[in-house]
Amino acid sequence: MFAALNYGIPRRAQEKGALELEYWDPRCYTTDVHRTVDDTPYGGGPGMVMKVAPLQAAIAAAREKLPKATIIYLSPQGKRLDHATIAQLSETPELILLCGRYEGIDERLIALEVDAEYSIGDYVLSGGELPAMVLIDAISRHLPNVLGDSDSAIEDSFVDALLDCPHYTRPAEIAGKSVPDVLLSGDHAAIKQWRLKQSLGRTWERRPDLLENRAKQKTLSKLEQSLLEDYKKDSGRS
């Protein structure tokens, strides 16, 4: 499954030596002929629960190489992953990502081994592998000298708790829709302000919760407040 990380930015991060990935399969740490990693839940109910012993042995094997690693369990019960957390994790030298399956993992293993639980959204997936890949891809963008343009990560959505502004490329007109004049003006100060205004407006329209959080924290500057009001007036919804 993790072959997906051999493409794009994660691949570049690995080629540059900024990222190293290794995998430990819990089935390789079982002792029965069927390589069993799950069992029925105590108390009854549907599904299966991942057993402690194979996972604990796999974690121990990973710790031999990564003795100081932070262990993260990708779980729907975890804290929602956000930009700030990704930035923080990108500075953590060693991570062990624990991927569950079925109904999840025996709670005692989580208590014994896991340092943090993270979720990528309020929905359930078949397992933790895809969330782990999302986490790795997001971290890769923050590693030194990985992106072609060092400003790319700085200007991404969520960096300032705002969504990104609209982007355009050639040709200048498609199906009667033209690129905004300011982007063709060569006036870098005006372009920067236009982009900030669009980011604020797009966030207000699509993720008002982000703006509400910034308002509560009193981190909206006077310029941002003014640009947002202008955007609302321009849209006719002030």
Sorted by where each starts, the structural domains of the chain and their CATH numbers stand as: 2-140 (3.40.1280.10), 157-235 (1.10.1270.20)
The count of C-alpha atoms lying within 13 angstroms of the C-alpha of 194, restricted to the half-sphere facing its C-beta, is 15
pLDDT at 159 over 80: no
Nearest 5°: the CA angle 201, 137, 159 is: 30
Annotated catalytic residue, options 103, 117, 137, 164: 103
| pLDDT bracket for residue 155 (50, 70, 90) | low
Q: What is the pLDDT of residue 158?
A: 75
Residue 22 has pLDDT above 90, yes or no: yes
pLDDT tens per residue, range 204-219 = 999 999 999 998 998 9
Decide if 156 is catalytic.
yes
Confidence band, pLDDT 50/70/90 cuts, at residue 14: very high
CB 143 within 8 A of CB 90: yes
- Cis omega before residue 76 (within 30°)? no
> How much is the mean pLDDT over the chain?
94
Distances from the Cα of 220 to the Cα of 87, 158, 225, angstroms: 21, 14, 6
152 pLDDT band, cuts 50/70/90, is: low
The Cα 158–Cα 156 span in angstroms is: 6
What does the block give as tokens for 208?
């008002």
Tokens of 5: 């990380």
Asked whether the beta carbons of 90 and 139 are under 8 A apart, the reply is: yes
**Letter for the amino acid at 156?**
D
The residue annotated as part of the active site, out of 11, 63, 76, 129, is 76
Grade residue 237 by pLDDT with cuts at 50, 70 and 90: confident
Q: Compute the average pLDDT of residues 55-82.
A: 97
Contacts of 80 (CB under 8 A, 6+ apart): 118, 119, 120, 121, 122
Please confirm, yes or no, whether 76 is among the known catalytic residues: yes
Q: Residue 161 — very low, low, confident or very high, per pLDDT cuts 50/70/90?
A: confident
CB 114 within 8 A of CB 72: yes
Of 75-89, 154-168, 183-197, where does mean pLDDT reach its minimum?
Answer: 154-168
Three-class secondary structure of residue 113 per DSSP:
helix
CA distance 103 to 66: 28
One of 12, 141, 195, 202 is an active-site residue; which one?
Answer: 141
Among residues 156, 195, 202, 207, which one is catalytic? 156
Give the global pTM.
Answer: 0.88
